[in-house]
Chain A
């Protein structure tokens, strides 16, 4: 019976925030990439702009791309601040309610953090078993996930602040160029996070976690003990 016991590790709020992040970030990613690499990605905006170009009587070729890019740019400028606002509100909620689990693992000694990070990296890439003592100390989020989330935080701050400056401040051309550069740097950092996040999410070890994220947020207790033992102990002790 104990094997079938389940534990909710992803709350409704968390799942909702993740869905919002997924949709809004994907929109920003696609529209941003179009603005960055139009020579390669013009075909993405062409079908969006083509009907508008026809309606407005514009050139069906260049007019369609222009209309498509304008829509992409408008979306980027609407969704960016919205996503930023949601993130700020969500992080503020986590901080105020004391639910910010992510940074907890950074309290571990640095040597222990590095050992845990390497053990998980070797497990992901080389299939090595995670040593038992490391397994026992695993929290809700492992060290590697937290490191990469910190990278995300840096990326989001860069992208967010530069994006706001581009959109709302009256910048000189030089300042505008600097903000675009910072926006790009933030974007590349965010993509590094995204690659790591998608890799870890789709890794066979974490299939149950991804099902929980897009399902009811619950995982088998046995799996939770294997992957986030310290967290499970803490939750069970609170009950």
Chain B
């Protein structure tokens, strides 16, 4: 009735995100909202370019702008000019579509479906608004909408299953995103790693299935600034302990119940035998 099946970690599709190509135009963010029919959010002033300031039930993809003070030196024939400036690193961010999505495992109603392509999709008509998906997500992705239901990136599963690329991938003017099969994406990401870039998403904790389907790559300098803030090295949270505990407690308590029932049966058998013996004696 409610059955969850994850494609194997090499099946399905994936996207390699090369952060070094991103110029922060936010076309992906806008296209995501438009394709998915999400309403526009009123912008507010924030100390960074990131707007809306975080993922939202109506903003499933947000470009986060990380700002870092850097010292740069301009070299002229006559002299060198040292100056302090701010480097801005844009990171287009959405659900990473874990290979074994904890949110789908945690959903108590089976509202989070995993497509054969590996897209992890919340079916709004089935969502009961409990928030277990958010509590289980190590990336803090699903967001509660005004209707009490949770929303997040669908990997444009409707487009993928029609032979199209995800909307954000298609619209990107600098080809930040490479949408391909998981196998091919792995090769591309490993190629980028061989070029000296840092890659996030290929060898992760078993809690997310060992890998995610949105694989991020960036030059070492950028990665050292951005990855620690955005992508936990060990994507685990309290739900991982819950799952481990459940794996021990449910079988353990079931066995204990069976043992208790068996012990009761033996006690009753013994009591009857004792009674019949004492009746026989009288």
Contact = CB atoms under 8 A, between A and B. Distances in A.
Interface of A: 34-39, 42-43, 46, 58-59, 61-63, 65-66, 69-70, 73, 124-125, 127, 173-174, 176-178, 180-181, 184-185, 188, 191-192, 195-196, 198-199, 202-205
15 contacts: A34-B108, A36-B108, A37-B250, A39-B4, A42-B110, A65-B109, A66-B109, A66-B125, A173-B137, A176-B134, A180-B239, A181-B238, A185-B245, A195-B253, A195-B257
Contacts of B108: 34-36, 38, 69, 73
A39 B2 contact: yes
A181 B1 contact: no
Nearest to B268: A204
Interface of B: 1-4, 107-111, 123, 125-126, 128, 130-132, 134-137, 140, 237-239, 241-242, 245-246, 249-250, 253, 256-257, 260, 263-264, 267-268, 270-271
A32 to B, nearest CB: 10
Nearest to B274: A127
B249 A188 contact: yes
B111 A66 contact: yes
- Chain A interface, >50% SS class: helix
Nearest to A173: B134
Contact of A199 (B107, B125, B253, B264): B264
A125 B270 CA distance: 11
Contacts of B132: 180
Contacts of B135: 173, 176-177, 180
A43 to B, nearest CB: 6
A60 B128 CA distance: 17
B138 to A, nearest CB: 10
A75 B260 CA distance: 29
In the complex, the 8 A-B pairs of residues with the closest C-beta atoms, listed nearest first: A177-B238, A204-B271, A42-B1, A177-B135, A35-B108, A69-B109, A199-B260, A42-B2
